[in-house]
Amino acid sequence: MSSENFAAEAERIRRRINETLMAAFSELSEGLLIVDRQARIVWMNEHYPRHLGIADPGSVIGLPVEQVIPNSLMRQVVTRGKPIMLDIMEFGSESFVVMRLPVRDSDGEVIGGVGVVIFDDPQQLVPVVSRFQSLRLELADTRRKLDEARRTKYTFASFVGASPGCMAVKDKARRAARAGSPVLILGETGTGKELLAQAIHAASPRAAGPFVAVNIAAIPETLLEAEFFGVAPGAYTGAERKGRSGKFELAQGGTLFLDEIGDMSPALQAKLLRALQEKEIEPVGSNRLIAVDVRIIAATSRNLQREVNEGRFRADLFYRLNVMTLDVPPLRERIEDLPLIAESLADILARQLDEPPRSIGADALAYLARHTWPGNVRELSNMLERALLMSDAERLERRDFEPFLPGLAAAATPPRAAGNGRTLDQIQQDAERQAIADAIAAAGGNKAQAARSLGISRASLYEKIAALGIA
**pLDDT value of position 253:** 93
Q: Give the span between the Cα atoms of 423 and 49, in whole angstroms.
A: 101
Residue 59 CB-half CA count within 13 A? 8
**pLDDT value of position 96:** 76
Question: What's the pLDDT tens digit per position in 71-95?
Answer: 889 999 999 999 988 787 877 777 7
Q: Give the span between the Cα atoms of 82 and 100, in whole angstroms.
A: 9
**pLDDT value of position 207:** 92
> Using 50, 70 and 90 to split pLDDT, how confident is the model at 465?
confident
Q: What is the mean pLDDT of the chain?
A: 82
Region of poorest pLDDT, from 69-73, 261-265, 376-380? 69-73
> Using 50, 70 and 90 to split pLDDT, how confident is the model at 148?
low
Q: Which CATH number fits domain 3-125: 3.40.50.300, 3.40.50.10320, 1.20.1260.60, 3.30.450.20?
A: 3.30.450.20
- Asked if pLDDT for residue 145 goes beyond 70, the answer is no
Q: Partners of 40 in the beta sheet?
A: 64
Cα–Cα nearest to 195, from 167, 164, 160: 160
Tell me how far the alpha carbon of residue 29 is from its chain's centroid. 47
- Asked if pLDDT for residue 59 goes beyond 60, the answer is yes
What percentage of the chain carries pLDDT values higher than 90?
39
> Using 50, 70 and 90 to split pLDDT, how confident is the model at 223?
confident
Cα–Cα distances (Å) from 402 to 368, 371, 384, in that order, read 9, 11, 12
- Asked if pLDDT for residue 24 goes beyond 90, the answer is no
Q: What is the mean pLDDT of residues 373-381?
A: 92
**pLDDT value of position 121:** 60
**pLDDT value of position 444:** 77
**pLDDT value of position 376:** 93
Question: What's the pLDDT tens digit per position in 233-247?
Answer: 766 655 556 778 889
Q: CATH for 156-329?
A: 3.40.50.300
**pLDDT value of position 428:** 65
**pLDDT value of position 406:** 77
**pLDDT value of position 420:** 46
Q: Do domains 3-125 and 332-468 have the same CATH topology?
A: no
**pLDDT value of position 172:** 94
Contacts with 395 (C-beta within 8 Å, 6 or more apart), sequence order:
358, 359, 360, 361
Q: Give the span between the Cα atoms of 130 and 125, in whole angstroms.
A: 8
Question: What's the pLDDT tens digit per position in 279-329?
Answer: 999 888 888 889 999 999 999 999 899 999 999 999 999 999 999 999 999
Question: What is the arrangement of strands in the sheet containing 31-36, beginning at the earlier edge strand?
Answer: 41-44, 31-36, 110-119, 94-104, 84-91
**Are 286 and 334 within 8 A, CB to CB?**
no
Fold type of domain 332-468? Helicase, Ruva Protein; domain 3 (1.10.8)
> Using 50, 70 and 90 to split pLDDT, how confident is the model at 149?
low
Question: What's the pLDDT tens digit per position in 345-366?
Answer: 999 999 999 888 889 999 999 9
Q: Give the span between the Cα atoms of 340 and 435, in whole angstroms.
A: 8
What percentage of the chain carries pLDDT values higher than 70?
79
- For residues 413, 418, 424, 428, the Cα torsion angle rounded to the nearest 10 degrees is -70
- Asked if pLDDT for residue 252 goes beyond 70, the answer is yes
Q: What ranges do the domains of the chain cover?
A: 3-125, 156-329, 332-468
- Asked if pLDDT for residue 128 goes beyond 90, the answer is no
